[in-house]
Structure 1
Amino acid sequence: MKLFLAKEEGKKSEAKETRMDFEKSSVSIKDDTEMADDDTAQNPESSRKLSSDSDSSDSEDEAEQTQQLRALESDLSTNPSNYDAHILYIKLLRRRGEIEKLREARENMNVLFPLTPAMWVEWAKDEASLLNDSDSESVEKLYERGISEYLSIPLWREYLNYVLQHDPKVCDSSVDGISKARNLFERAVTAAALHVAQGSQIWDAYTQFEQSILLTIDQSDIQAKENQVQRIRSIFHRQLSIPFANMKSTLLSYKAWEVEQGNSLDAESDNVDGISSHVASSYRKAEEMYNARAHLEEHITRQGISESERYQHFMSYLDFEKSFGDPARVQSLYERAITDFPVSSDLWLDYTRYLDKTLKAGNIVKDVYSRATRKCPWVGELWVRYLLCLEHGLASEKEISAAFEKSVQCTFSTLEEYLDLFLTRVDGLRRRLSSARGDDVLNYSLIRESFQQATDYLSPHLKNTDGLLRLHAYWACLELKLNNNLTAARGVWGSLLKTCGSMLEAWQGFIAMEIALGHINEARAIYKRCYSKRFSGTGSEDICHAWLRFEREFGTLDDLDHAVQKVMPRLEELQLFRLEQESKSLTEVTNQRERPLKKTASEKRKLGSIAIDEQSPAKRQKSTQNQKKLHEKENTRGLKLAEANDGEEKKGKVEEQVNEQLVKDTYSSKTRLYTDQCTAFASNLNIRAIDEDLKQFFSDVGGVTAIRILHDKFTGKSRGLAYVDFKDEEHLAAALAKNKQMLLGKKLSITRSNPKRGKRESGALTTSEHDSNQSGIEGSSASKESVEISKGSSVAPQVPHSRKHFESIQLKGKNTFAVPRNVKPLGWTTSKPGTKKEEDEKPKSNDEFRKMFMTS
């Protein structure tokens, strides 16, 4: 012991200097005053001026500090969570030497925030400087509080040094003192044994302490001396079996000590030759373990890296340790990590999850949860799992209740965290009440109080939400099962309906409880109360239909008739209301779109101008030329028909030429290819609908990648058809489920686009072919275009002047009284058979045709 104390003599002087921490300011002032006195003796003429300057400077500094302290006190009273304000306040109080306020400030800060190991050491040293060695117990308590929060090797060393230097029993080397010191060292090496970087410091201090004890043993007491030598040897062996950063230094120290004990070893060599085989084997294994972790230790201890980088290095190190499956090493590394990141909620959550999985329960896990909730009190999940941990550890109701009361005083980021906390508390009470444990006297009133507390707090914030419904449904269920009180259960539902009366699910839950209990009349009474209420969405219709189903299943014929008499007028009223709402929305949408789309009278007369303006100049010029030619051909159409005679029955094979010419003229601009691998085809679309309407219509489905509304090729007007591309089959299937739903007053027909039906032999469809040939409407689209041509629209596709052209054109529909026999539908090929209607129609003969024009 004397040897150990001699080695620590330098540290004693440092401790004595610490006693003067609170007197630094006064000493500084005193030194300044003495210097001023010396200057005054040498220069009496300036003495008065120097004295006045010193007094004024001190008074100004003191006044400034006082003002700053008042400002900090005011700030902390209104915002106690200001961490920086706490730090500055403690610093100023320590500088001024205001002991009582300093203690109070540190305690207040420690209630809200964890103190760093350096702050614990500073606090302990400040208290030690004010006490005698006989009053060291209060300082030791401060060190105990510090080591309970962190795994800090420097903090442990300060604690050990303080006990060895200031505890009278330890200093006197009494039996009780030595036993106390050894117990403290064992606790220290247990905590720091696996700290690869700094753990050997505790072991070295332990061996030095035991060596000092060896020197105090009388040389004549051979047995006691031998026992102490064996104790020191055992400590060395334990240390050599643990991977540390300076293992070779420890090996050399051990061999040198063995040489002092008379054993022949090569103390200068760092190999294991000469030592016992089991120690050598343990040392080699520990050395391999350290070499495997050396690079990871270097990463987490490197200076000059950011906090985020260090955190990631810790996570990588933890993954490495977990792969070996040693919980002690993993836990030690977690403790090192939280020392560097004490308020990292992600780290605490990860740490506690690991302990829950490996240790399940126990004082170690409970202690970690206690620290986690103090370091990160704003994380609701930590409190929830803390309560579960206490329940696993069979904690008393007093302890669990205290933890719960602390948790509800914290501020969480979401209301769901509060709800989860209340439900966890009720879950625990229910389980313990059901198990009827004898150590706690529990009754149902605790559950009811917890539910009432949750309702009072959450109801204003969770109105008409599933969370509040879940809380009340659980409450009503427990009132029935545990408390056997039907009146109380109905009261719970009644209180919920006062808050969430417009929530359909609340009424349905109440009705379901009554039906489950067989109370048919009570359930019917609830239906009568709520069927006329207005619920969101289709809830009003749903409750009406639910009442009818209820009467069919449980009621008499009179009950069903009565329900029908009540429900049917209500359903008609709701249907009328829906139609009015849809009409209003459609009118509003139409008005909004027509305002920006107004044209002047001259612009309206120019049909097709929109489609032309959107083209490039070169294409616009070509399109204009094509339209002029089409107008000329339209004007000469009657003359060519009049010149038809009986001999014009030759069937020229010009159909393919006409089709090719039409494709070249009307679809001259080729665009990108569409394969429609995952595309929905929508028909019966309102002509005023735009891309945004379809996007909104499929917003609940999602996954829309492109929308293509088909427009007339010449007028630019919508054709009421559209293609909607989706990113995958799942979204497409959901879109197809929306078939026959209303969009802008019309039921939208939605089918899957089938590109193979309209694909030609040449390959994939272009945009023009896509518009005419896809999704089962190819023929009808072409027919509509043919009808438009037959009606003499102002803009028609360009056709050749050949006389045979009229032999290859066939109009469809009812306006076929003046159609030659050889007219074919647009895009018709010889491989496409005609429909039955086409075969049944009998066009006029050539004679009738000629007579009709001649008479006109």
Structure 2
Amino acid sequence: MEEFEKSPVGEDTEMDGSDTVENPKTSPKSSSDSESSDSEDEANQKEQLLTLEYELSTNPSNYDAHVLYIKLLRRSGEIEKLREARENMNALFPLSPEMWIEWAKDEASLLNDSNFESVDKLYERGISEYLSIPLWCEYLNYVQEHDPKVRDCSADGISKARNLFERAVTAAALHVSQGSLIWDSYTRFEQAILLTIDPSDVQAKEKQVQRIRSIFHRYLSIPHANLKSTLLAYKAWEVEQGNSLDAESSNALGISSHVASAYQKAEEMYNARVHLEEQITKQDVSESERFQHYMGYLDFEKSFGDPARVQILYERAITDFPVSSDLWLHYTRYLDKTLKAGNVVKDVYSRATRSCPWVGELWVRYLLCLERGLASEKEISVAFEKSLKCTFSTLEEYLDLFITRVDGLRRRISSASGDDVLNYSMIRESFQRAADYVSPHMKNTDGLLRLHAYWARLELKLGNDLNASRGVWESLLKSCGSMLEAWQSYIAMEIGLDHINEARAIYKRCYSKRFSGTGSEDICHSWLRFEREFGTLEDLNHAEQKVTPRLEELQLFRLQQESKCFTGATDQREQTLKKTTHEKRKSGSSAIDDQSPAKRQKHTSQNKKLHEKEKTQGLNLTEVNDGEEKKGKVEEQVNEKQMKDTNPTKPRLYTDKCTAFISNLSITAKDEDLHQFFSDVGGVTAIRILLDKFTGKSRGLAYVDFEDDEHLAAAVAKNKQMLLGKKLSIARSNPKQRKRESFSTSAPGEDASNQSGKHGSSVSKESGENSKGSKAPHVPQSTGRKRDEKIQLKGKNTFAVPRNKDVHEKLSFIFQ
């Protein structure tokens, strides 16, 4: 333990030569100061250790805390705690190659050669996590120096060492920049074995010479950085064996033709890769640049179709970027495509999920890999339970994990080779866990509907329990009763089972519910189609009696909404005209001020005559519409309080010049969700989610304003992307079209009766005729909005029926 306990102090002493000579007068004082300083450092170190122990007990996934804790324990020399800390960290995270080397050396310094196996196991664990040439070299050197059998060159020891070298060659020999270190160590070991053979044993010596020659030939056929020096070393060795080769020549023609051919091919391969090797080994580039160089190098290797070379390069990349989820995903996809299954792929997935446990896709594909490899139910269950303890960024990842688990159970139960211990209760339990886990956070989403639809179907097919299947749908409707698709799927299941009465009962429960968009009308029409196809004439008549009043209510409600939109557009136009007129009058008065006195007097007299003429025409028009205005005043007095409640402040007007219109939005989505969704686009200035007037819930529609057209175009490019389980429909809002329609509805000089027919406005027929006959300018009716907004429905749901007979008659006149 002395070797690594005191090493920091020793290094400091060697570097500072001035401390080697002491002054007798000052040395006692210096000694006391040093002791005081050491005691303070020890106290601080103990305090740090206690703090880190508490941190790790509350947050064991803190990687940096683990590293610092191990470092401090190593300094303090607390061996048992140090071992425990390393084991605890390795249970959660892969250790870096440097940490494995440090751990193995520490343990080796404490043990003698009789306890060789414990250190050997540490090296084995280390080389299984990352590809590291230095770690392999340390392992090979340790075995040669400390394994008694290898050191004594016994037959078992030599066989063990050769097997280890072959494993190292398989794992790392294709490493272009550092693989030669393994080969060089291998050839030195075999040459040392050759020296131990008795010269009189010609047969054994010749066999060993041939083994070394074979290793050199393999070495020379692989592209690496030391090809030329390897060729010279090989030729020199051949000369030592008595073969007539020029040891100083770099010409490959001096060796056998097949070796020369392999060497030339390796040299060509190395020359084609040397610039790529330089890019990934540069020290003065950023991490992102090096990562991109790795990806380009991988594409290059994939083009040659050699899986071994591609895999070794992936291993090098993940050693440099151990927590890059994109890299692990690329690596595992490649292995799934080329190797399909096997221990190699399973090992990579195990390391991937430990390095990036927050990536749900890696866990899903790990479960599939275990299933392809015919893993036991226990092994798959352990991996699944580990995945649920991880923290994912979206709930959809948790849902995908549960469904993947159910998929695997279903396949194995359905197959003839399934284990006897597997039964349907395991599937039901998985579904129930999934519903309890995600339902509170995924209400009214397609993902939750997909989960319950799958569950209900398996209850029928595998569980053979119709009541349980209906229970699944009923549990979904309790939390998602306003989701039209849930009712439709439930009905579809009953129709598929030919349970007509049960399907009819569901229609009776849901036809009067309020759904988003046109869902309320859709379910009514769906019921009528159902009765035409499956019901009797009495059933059809009964459905019509129920559905017809409901459809009328919905139609009047739509009319109310459209009328409000039309009135809002008209008010906006009036404000614009008033502002424009005011500005023109202001500029006109300024122009008059600049005129000469004679022209100013003439202009004033002309305006006076024109004003008297307009006043006369305005009085005539007022007389014609006097009755209409009286009605409007009465309605205004009756409904003044309600108008204040429903429209206390004037709504803000939007031009929609740089606005995206969002549809198919999840009703659970908030402004923050849309902000996050467009965070990569940027430029968001305002978000308006449209709410239902009566329920206050989202209608699944929204407007998002952007700073400029560039940001808007980038936002529209995200069309069909997913947000909270819904595929958004994103398009540019078109205010010009609405503006055209608004102007054509209330343009000055147009026949008011024609506009009433086009847009369903509340302008009376009499005022339209007056406008046509007298050619007077159109006067906006101030009572139009009041008449349109006083609507409520009759019957079971009274939320959109006219409040008085006059309004109902006018609306009827509009739709005649």
Task: Give the TM-score of the pair, scaled to structure 1.
Answer: 0.69
The 5-angstrom pairing of residues 797-812 of structure 1 reads none
Q: Is the 8 A contact 2:221 2:266 kept in 1?
A: yes
2:583 is the counterpart of 1:610 = yes
2:340 is the counterpart of 1:360 = yes
3-state SS in 1 of match to 2:422: coil
Q: Aligned equivalents of 2:451 and 2:385: distance in 1?
A: 19
Q: Aligned equivalents of 2:660 and 2:160: distance in 1?
A: 78
Q: Deviations over 1:613-633 (max 9, x none)?
A: 6899999999xx999879959
3-state SS in 1 of match to 2:441: coil
Q: 1:398 maps to what in 2?
A: 378
Q: Is the 8 A contact 2:593 2:600 kept in 1?
A: no
Amino acid at match of 2:655: E
Amino acid at match of 1:174: S
Q: Aligned equivalents of 1:379 and 1:620: distance in 2?
A: 75
Q: By how many angstroms is 1:483 displaced?
A: 1.8
**Which residue of 138, 145, 150 maps to 2:125?**
145
2:36 is the counterpart of 1:63 = no
Q: Is the 8 A contact 1:19 1:125 kept in 2?
A: no
Identify unmatched segments of 5+ residues in structure 1: 1-17, 639-687, 703-724, 735-742, 752-770, 772-776, 786-811, 817-856
**Which residue of 692, 715, 730 maps to 2:655?**
692
2:483 is the counterpart of 1:520 = no
Q: 1:20 maps to what in 2?
A: 3
Q: Deviations over 1:599-620 (max 9, x none)?
A: 9xxxx7x993334668999999
**Which residue of 216, 219, 223 maps to 1:243?**
223
Q: Is the 8 A contact 1:36 1:50 kept in 2?
A: no
Q: 1:62 to 1:466 in 2, by over 3 A?
A: same
Q: Aligned equivalents of 2:322 and 2:525: distance in 1?
A: 58
**Which residue of 369, 378, 400 maps to 2:358?**
378
Q: 1:74 maps to what in 2?
A: 54
**Which residue of 194, 197, 221 maps to 2:174?**
194
Q: Aligned equivalents of 1:627 and 1:176: distance in 2?
A: 126
Q: Is the 8 A contact 2:494 2:503 kept in 1?
A: yes
Q: Aligned equivalents of 1:608 and 1:30: distance in 2?
A: 91
Q: Aligned equivalents of 2:428 and 2:592: distance in 1?
A: 79
Q: Is the 8 A contact 2:456 2:470 kept in 1?
A: yes
Amino acid at match of 1:300: I
Q: Is the 8 A contact 1:479 1:488 kept in 2?
A: yes
Q: 1:620 to 1:339 in 2, by over 3 A?
A: farther
**Which residue of 57, 68, 76 maps to 1:96?**
76
**Which residue of 419, 424, 429 maps to 1:444?**
424
Q: Deviations over 1:330-371 (max 9, x none)?
A: 111111111100110000111111111111112211111111
The 5-angstrom pairing of residues 392-431 of structure 1 reads 392-431=372-411
Q: 2:279 maps to what in 1?
A: 299
Q: Is the 8 A contact 2:276 2:297 kept in 1?
A: yes
Q: By how many angstroms is 1:412 displaced?
A: 0.7
Q: Aligned equivalents of 2:465 and 2:151: distance in 1?
A: 69
Q: By how many angstroms is 1:136 displaced?
A: 1.2
Q: 1:432 maps to what in 2?
A: 412
3-state SS in 1 of match to 2:655: helix
2:95 is the counterpart of 1:132 = no
Q: Aligned equivalents of 2:283 and 2:275: distance in 1?
A: 14
Amino acid at match of 1:610: E
Q: 1:323 maps to what in 2?
A: 303
Q: Is the 8 A contact 1:345 1:379 kept in 2?
A: yes
Q: Deviations over 1:572-595 (max 9, x none)?
A: 44445555566677778888999x
Q: By how many angstroms is 1:465 displaced?
A: 1.0
Q: By how many angstroms is 1:102 displaced?
A: 1.0
Q: Is the 8 A contact 2:52 2:69 kept in 1?
A: yes
2:441 is the counterpart of 1:461 = yes
The answer to which of 164-173 and 401-410 deviates more is: 401-410
Amino acid at match of 1:532: S
3-state SS in 2 of match to 1:342: coil
Q: 1:99 to 1:256 in 2, by over 3 A?
A: same
How many residue pairs match? The answer is 655
* Structure exhibiting the larger radius of gyration computed from Cα positions: 1
The 5-angstrom pairing of residues 642-653 of structure 1 reads none
Q: 1:685 maps to what in 2?
A: none
Q: Aligned equivalents of 2:84 and 2:558: distance in 1?
A: 67
Q: 2:754 maps to what in 1?
A: none
Q: Aligned equivalents of 2:149 and 2:58: distance in 1?
A: 47
Q: 1:204 maps to what in 2?
A: 184
Q: Deviations over 1:204-230 (max 9, x none)?
A: 000000011011111111100000000
Q: By how many angstroms is 1:432 displaced?
A: 1.6
What CA RMSD, in Å, does the superposition of the two structures yield over aligned residues?
A: 4.4
Q: Aligned equivalents of 2:148 and 2:306: distance in 1?
A: 40
The 5-angstrom pairing of residues 163-242 of structure 1 reads 163-242=143-222
Q: 1:633 to 1:87 in 2, by over 3 A?
A: closer
Q: 1:467 to 1:255 in 2, by over 3 A?
A: same
Q: 2:315 maps to what in 1?
A: 335
Q: Aligned equivalents of 1:79 and 1:218: distance in 2?
A: 62
Q: Aligned equivalents of 1:285 and 1:619: distance in 2?
A: 95
Q: Aligned equivalents of 1:450 and 1:283: distance in 2?
A: 58
Q: 1:737 maps to what in 2?
A: none
Q: By how many angstroms is 1:76 displaced?
A: 1.9
Q: Aligned equivalents of 1:70 and 1:289: distance in 2?
A: 55
Q: Deviations over 1:748-787 (max 9, x none)?
A: 7989xxxxxxxxxxxxxxxxxxx9xxxxx99x989859xx
Q: Is the 8 A contact 1:612 1:620 kept in 2?
A: no
Q: Aligned equivalents of 1:389 and 1:615: distance in 2?
A: 82
Q: Is the 8 A contact 1:259 1:265 kept in 2?
A: yes
